Structure 1
Amino acid sequence: MKFTNALTSTFVFPAAALSTMTAAAPLEPRDVYDPRVTYPHTGTVWIVGQRHNVTWDTSDAPVNITNPIGTIKLGANNIILPITLATGFSVLSGRHEVTVPDVDSGEYFLVFFGDSGDWSDTFTINSS
């Protein structure tokens, strides 16, 4: 099989190489996991610069999770902000420590990503 890229050159793949690429084993079925954030919750007040454990419920975790690596982002006014508080941790850990970012005082929420995003309750961040 021959592929041409106008910017580079022509590539030739032997038929045997292509059949090897397509003969991969089927993937195991996987489940989308959307754990419920348990902290912070309504009534929680964080202060800029403090450290807090974000927690989530792992009691209903499926056996095969599509994406077992978590990310926690900050949101406000129904918008996910470009502020990542943590990333690269196991969604099965049930907690991860974050530092409260330097943001204006106001109402915020967290979005916990693994397979899917789950929003925390709205809580308060104070800048002083």
Structure 2
Amino acid sequence: MKFTSVVTSIAVLLVSAVSALWALPISLQPRDVFVPPVTYPHNKTVWIVGQHHNVTWDTSDAPVNITNKIGMIFLRKGGLTTNLSLASNFSILLGRIVVEVPHVETGRDYQVVLFGDSGNFSPFFTITNV
């Protein structure tokens, strides 16, 4: 009986200690999700395979504390994001990054996706081989 009382007392002590730790205020710095609109390519853009282009986005209203400042750009075709990485590991605050147009099937149903805090799609544009 005495052993049970000791175990119960220890359990109550542990639960109290953990509860006290959870009650401590945690100092978190507020962060904002940054969703910069892609400005290029736009719906009249035609990219030719092998060329280099600047993918651009508007950083004019960037918050001070961005959740994720590291960007990546992927190619999207027909409403699905592909595994074709056009650029990665750059500051989302740059506002532009040079990419090389990959060898892909010709079509008008392409978009670039700018990842950082979120995924921002460009308008649909065309990629051609000529």
Q: TM-score, normalised by structure 1?
A: 0.80
* SS of residue in 1 equivalent to 2:114: strand
The equivalent residue for 1:84 is 85
Q: What is the distance in 2 between the residues matched to 1:113 and 1:103? A: 21
Q: Does 1:109 align with 2:111?
A: yes
Pairing of 1:27-42 with structure 2 (within 5 A):
27-42=28-43
Structure 2 counterpart of 1:30, one-letter code: R
Greater Cα radius of gyration, structure 1 or 2: 2
Pairing of 1:33-112 with structure 2 (within 5 A):
33-107=34-108, 108-112=110-114
* SS of residue in 1 equivalent to 2:63: coil
Q: What is the distance in 1 between the residues matched to 2:129 and 2:93? A: 31
Q: How far off is 1:127 after superposition?
A: 1.9
Q: How far off is 1:99 after superposition?
A: 0.2
**Percent of counterpart pairs with the same letter?**
57
Q: Which moved more, 1:55-64 or 1:26-35?
A: 26-35
Q: Which portions of structure 1, spanning 4 or more consecutive aligned residues, are displaced by more than 4 angstroms?
A: none
Q: What is the distance in 1 between the residues matched to 2:27 and 2:81? A: 35
Instruction: Give unpaired runs (5+ residues) of structure 1.
Output: 1-18
Instruction: Give unpaired runs (5+ residues) of structure 2.
Output: 1-17
* SS of residue in 1 equivalent to 2:113: strand
Q: What is the distance in 1 between the residues matched to 2:105 and 2:129? A: 6
RMSD of Structure 2 on Structure 1 (CA): 1.9
Q: What is the distance in 2 between the residues matched to 1:26 and 1:115? A: 22
The equivalent residue for 1:6 is none
Q: TM-score, normalised by structure 2?
A: 0.79
Q: How far off is 1:26 after superposition?
A: 2.6
Q: What is the distance in 1 between the residues matched to 2:27 and 2:89? A: 26
